[in-house]
Structure 1
Amino acid sequence: MDPLDDNLPRRQVLKAAVAAGGVSALSACLDMASSEPVPTGDSNAKPSRQHAWQEYIRHDEHGNSQLPKHQILLYIIFDGDGQPSADTRSILEQALTGLDRAYEWSHKGLLHSIAYSPSYFERFDQSLPENVDLPRPTALSPFESPTFDTQDAVIHLASDRADVVLEAEQALRGEQDQANGVSVEARLTDVATIDSRRTGFVGAGLPAQHQDAAGIPDSNPVPEASPLFMGFEAGFKGNQATEDYVTIQNGPFAGATTKVIANLRQRLDDWYDEQSFEERVTEMFSPGHADKDLVKGVGSNLGSDSGIDQFIGDIESDAKTHNRVGHAQKAARANRDADGNVKLFRRHFESTDDIGSDQKVASLHFPSLQRRITDFEDVRRAMNGTDLTKVTPAIRQRVNNGILEYIFVRRRGNFLVPPRRHREVPTPQPES
């Protein structure tokens, strides 16, 4: 898709431009950008946590978060071997501080973070503190074989403005002299290589606009009101951890969190062509949701809570009675602590990137924040539903087992999101 094609609808041009990247794509975005100026930032007024987004984004009438519409992930490898130099730290600090100055910390400006992988920390002789759980990524089901992202770090850019994420990226690459009128004093690419670039979008209307992709039927079944390709809302406030809950509380990385980013290919032909709406509700939420007619349309009527907690204990009886179980129902079994608090904070968004090719493929980028990577791994294994295949032969490892029949993990990486004071090439044991 050519982002410069004047015949394309506006939001399709913007999404295509973000996916394409580069100077011409930025030019296309600027030509179509809102006339409203982008608010500039104050590097001294940013929150101490890089993952502090909740107070700075839109929310619906129920208090559910509405993530920034346009997002870019830049996976980077720092130059050289061993511990990064003082010059690397200085240049990275100038590059990131430049973004802080250029854009307000909000969905109207730019939200961004840098997170570091286990491979990065292996550059040092020291080990991470005991309370930082950051293992290398591993396969989390018997039926997946993902490529593991082991680059040093990932930079996440997010904004409601396509021109903002593109301009910020170009500034990091050194291809813009200014960002939002602020001079660019240093560029990321002087000290690191961008190994992989991935893009995405989220929000009502965007998935429907971009459903012309492999993995989605030609009938264009994605509802206009849906923020995601599978046709339902997600990330209800009552089913998400809080930012405080996922934050590491003590030690040199107090104020940090861990981040898993998975990329899942979606094959939704059978989801839409073979399953009825009630069957989709059953497999996305639970059989109880379908029996009680709890979900209307894309699920906006659920308000701030999907109500999944009341169906967790029914899962084995549901398996026997309905020969199916729900995705949310399975995952929730491991996504609550002893006090009933939700453990994971999910910030997923859609994509039509096919990493490494020009083909458009329906996929999902799935960033998850949690205090410990182990928490994510426990929830993912519960989502597998392997134990439920023993309850009835109708439930197999992928069939009638939530949404596993329709999603395929292609990539996964584990990262630590340091607090802002340690965001530039931290050592494993930074000073408090």
Structure 2
Amino acid sequence: MNLPDPDSVPRREFCKAAVALGGTAGLSACLGVGDDRDNPGETAALSGVPAGDPESVPERQHAWNDVLERDESGNVVAPTHHVLRYCSVSDDLAAAIDDGDAGAVDDARERFADALSDIERGFEWSNEGLLFTVGYAPAYFERFDGRSEGPAGVDLPEPTALTSMEDPGFDTADVLVHLASDTPEAVLAAEEALFGGADAANGEPVTDVTDLFDPVDRRTGFLGPGLPREHRDAQGVPDDAPIPEEAPLFMGFKNGFAGSQATEDRVTITDGPFAGGTTEHVSKLQTQLNAWWNQENHHQRVAKLFSPTHAAEERVGEWGEKLGSNPAVADLPEDAIEFAREEGVVGHAQKAARARDEDGTPPLLRRDFPTTDGDHTGLHFLTLQESIADFVRVREAMTGSDLADESGVGSRLNNGILQYVFVRRRGNYLVPPRTHRSLPEPDP
């Protein structure tokens, strides 16, 4: 891909493009240096990027909320720039695992642990520094003695299609690293140190682990008010779509309301050797929003995304500003089928709320973000939950097959936002506690 002229676009738009490009060229562009430098990550400390202390990082890899900013309503503000790196273990490491070569596996485990601690030394655990998680797919654990039951005490099935309307590919690469920061240089420098051969990040030496992994895929995204509006030139959305300036999503509204998010405690595994960890599901979604913007009016968009009640009572505002910290979908009429039959439409959030715990607690912590990977609008739908079964339960509620069967609402038409969003890939991962985050055994 080609980077835009840095003098002709806002800096954050340029940096978003640089993160999507990645590699030394992307990092060099963010740093304002030529891309002929072998290792831009070897430069002195990045300007304005605070260094960190591994001893101060929480045991839970997914413990981000305490260090992230909050908006005026108390909602957590997610980092702006995101990179997902999918990797398989190298052939040599795979052979060592298969052969039961404990010495070689222990050496790899120690080096990867050192590299991750080096990254934490280079970057403060914050949105201004770097937040990250390391997750492992079911296929990774199956490498150990042909183990088929997965990691001990964790519900981590292989990914599968979850509705009759989808036919996704499945992500089975061993390792998924999620890097996130408000500072694009931080994401790129850490990525280059772990996977690109740079021997330092933010001025701190980083242990070389490039021989341990083979890259499989790289996905990127962004989250922030105005960014979707700035990228209406991507396929999947009209280039004149009236996306509000404040909206962080291509559909024109905000998300991440505290009232519809699980707490980090709720999604944490409580028992077994991986207690303190969590499970992660990542879906790669593609959006087709021409009809959303050209055929639906604001009232209809609110009805389909939230509920007809939200539309009729004007609860949402232009982009969600009226909702504060709670979209209040749990207080709608309990008989969703009758509600849908009467209204002729059912809202996406309205359907998902049916899968809350008995005490009304949401079971999923969403950390998803928009993308223009492949020059097409989409969403990397990333959720954390104690059990993948929690995600499946919520996904079934969001699909609303029961509503389509009994209320007259179509399987896609007027059934939330299903007609605009298409699942392309799915993957499931265990995000262990930091103690076991480096190439863990299935039963450590």
Q: Whole-Å Cα distance in 2 between the matches of residues 180 and 68 of structure 1?
A: 18
CA contact (8 A) 1:4 1:25 kept: no
Q: Whole-Å Cα distance in 1 between the matches of residues 46 and 169 of structure 2?
A: 42
Amino acid corresponding to residue 228 of structure 1 in structure 2: L
Shift of 1:220: 3.2
Q: Whole-Å Cα distance in 2 between the matches of residues 174 and 352 of structure 1?
A: 23
Q: Whole-Å Cα distance in 2 between the matches of residues 4 and 194 of structure 1?
A: 27
Secondary structure of the 2:217 match is strand
CA contact (8 A) 1:285 1:308 kept: yes
Shift of 1:3: 2.3
Going from structure 1 to structure 2, the CA distance change for 1:35 and 1:102 (only over 3 Å counts) comes to: closer
CA contact (8 A) 2:152 2:272 kept: no
Counterpart position of 2:314:
293
Counterpart position of 1:68:
79
Counterpart position of 2:299:
278
Q: 1 or 2, which has the higher helix percentage?
A: 2
User: Is residue 2:405 matched to residue 1:390?
Assistant: yes
Q: Whole-Å Cα distance in 1 between the matches of residues 333 and 189 of structure 2?
A: 45
CA contact (8 A) 1:312 1:332 kept: no
Secondary structure of the 1:411 match is strand
Shift of 1:98: 1.4
Q: Whole-Å Cα distance in 2 between the matches of residues 93 and 103 of structure 1?
A: 16
Q: Whole-Å Cα distance in 2 between the matches of residues 103 and 307 of structure 1?
A: 37
User: Is residue 2:217 matched to residue 1:203?
Assistant: no
Where do 4+ consecutive residues of structure 1 move more than 3 Å? 126-131
Going from structure 1 to structure 2, the CA distance change for 1:409 and 1:279 (only over 3 Å counts) comes to: same
Counterpart position of 1:24:
25
Counterpart pick for 2:168 among 118, 131, 146: 146
Counterpart position of 2:14:
13
Answer with 219-228 or 135-144: which moved more. Answer: 219-228
Shift of 1:422: 0.2
CA contact (8 A) 2:281 2:384 kept: yes
Q: Whole-Å Cα distance in 1 between the matches of residues 302 and 337 of structure 2?
A: 18
Counterpart pick for 2:365 among 345, 370, 373: 345
Amino acid corresponding to residue 393 of structure 2 in structure 1: D
User: Is residue 2:388 matched to residue 1:373?
Assistant: yes
Q: Whole-Å Cα distance in 2 between the matches of residues 98 and 130 of structure 1?
A: 28
Amino acid corresponding to residue 60 of structure 2 in structure 1: R
1:107-146 mapped onto 2 (5 Å cutoff)? 107-125=127-145, 126=147, 127-128=149-150, 131-146=153-168
Which digits, 9 at most, give the CA deviation of each residue in 1:231-254, with x for residues without a partner?
A: 111120011100001001111111
Counterpart position of 2:58:
47
Secondary structure of the 2:331 match is helix
Amino acid corresponding to residue 44 of structure 1 in structure 2: E
User: Is residue 2:436 matched to residue 1:422?
Assistant: yes
Counterpart position of 1:357:
none
Q: Whole-Å Cα distance in 2 between the matches of residues 298 and 143 of structure 1?
A: 29
TM-score normalised by structure 2 residue count: 0.92
Amino acid corresponding to residue 351 of structure 1 in structure 2: T
Which 5+ residue runs of structure 1 have no aligned equivalent? 355-359
Counterpart pick for 2:280 among 239, 250, 259: 259
Secondary structure of the 1:44 match is helix
CA contact (8 A) 2:152 2:443 kept: no
Counterpart pick for 1:100 among 115, 120, 145: 120
* Equivalent pairs, count: 421
Amino acid corresponding to residue 139 of structure 2 in structure 1: S
Q: Whole-Å Cα distance in 1 between the matches of residues 241 and 11 of structure 2?
A: 19
Q: Whole-Å Cα distance in 1 between the matches of residues 377 and 177 of structure 2?
A: 22
Shift of 1:108: 0.4
Which digits, 9 at most, give the CA deviation of each residue in 1:78-98, with x for residues without a partner?
A: 013352712221221122111
CA contact (8 A) 2:85 2:178 kept: yes
Counterpart pick for 2:415 among 387, 398, 401: 401
Shift of 1:153: 1.1
Which digits, 9 at most, give the CA deviation of each residue in 1:224-275, with x for residues without a partner?
A: 1001111111120011100001001111111010000001000000011100
Counterpart position of 1:250:
271
Shift of 1:4: 5.7
CA contact (8 A) 1:249 1:255 kept: yes
Amino acid corresponding to residue 397 of structure 2 in structure 1: A
CA contact (8 A) 2:280 2:431 kept: yes
Q: Whole-Å Cα distance in 2 between the matches of residues 315 and 185 of structure 1?
A: 54
Q: Whole-Å Cα distance in 2 between the matches of residues 97 and 4 of structure 1?
A: 35
Q: Whole-Å Cα distance in 1 between the matches of residues 265 and 174 of structure 2?
A: 26
Q: Whole-Å Cα distance in 1 between the matches of residues 200 and 269 of structure 2?
A: 35
Counterpart pick for 1:305 among 326, 339, 352: 326
Counterpart pick for 1:172 among 163, 175, 194: 194
User: Is residue 2:338 matched to residue 1:317?
Assistant: yes
Amino acid corresponding to residue 300 of structure 2 in structure 1: E
CA contact (8 A) 2:261 2:366 kept: yes
Cα root mean square deviation, aligned = 1.7
CA contact (8 A) 1:19 1:199 kept: yes
Going from structure 1 to structure 2, the CA distance change for 1:300 and 1:314 (only over 3 Å counts) comes to: farther
Answer with 132-141 or 165-174: which moved more. Answer: 165-174
Counterpart position of 2:214:
193
Instruction: Indicate the percent of aligned positions where both proteins have the same amino acid.
Output: 49
CA contact (8 A) 1:129 1:251 kept: no
Which 5+ residue runs of structure 2 have no aligned equivalent? 34-44, 98-103
Shift of 1:174: 4.1
Amino acid corresponding to residue 429 of structure 1 in structure 2: D
Q: Whole-Å Cα distance in 1 between the matches of residues 160 and 125 of structure 2?
A: 34
Shift of 1:315: 2.1
